[in-house]
Amino acid sequence: MKVTVDEAMCCGAGQCVLLAPDVFDQRDEDGVVVLLDAAPPEPLHAVVREAASVCPAAAISLGEGA
């Protein structure tokens, strides 16, 4: 799984951090998403898929057998 984020689309809701804090964080200054792990281990794939689906700005994309 390869995770990419689009900072320009991020609205700072932090839904991804609530779901997968090992993969996503937010910048202190404006809340924009910070990708901590672009290739998360298999046990996290399900929750990362959920994060990509529920992101209210559609700012998270998954690739490579996601």
Give the start-end residues of each E strand in 1-66: 2-5, 24-26, 33-35, 60-63
46 binds other proteins (CB under 8 A): yes
**Residue 12 beta carbon to other proteins: minimum distance, rounded to whole angstroms:** 3
Calculate the alpha carbon distances from 56 to 24, 36, 40, 41 in Å.
15, 19, 21, 24
Binding-residue pattern over the window 9 to 28 for other proteins, x denoting contact by CB under 8 A: x-xxxxx-xx-------xxx
Q: Which residues bind other proteins (CB under 8 A)?
A: 9, 11-15, 17-18, 26-28, 30-31, 46, 49-50, 53-54, 56-58
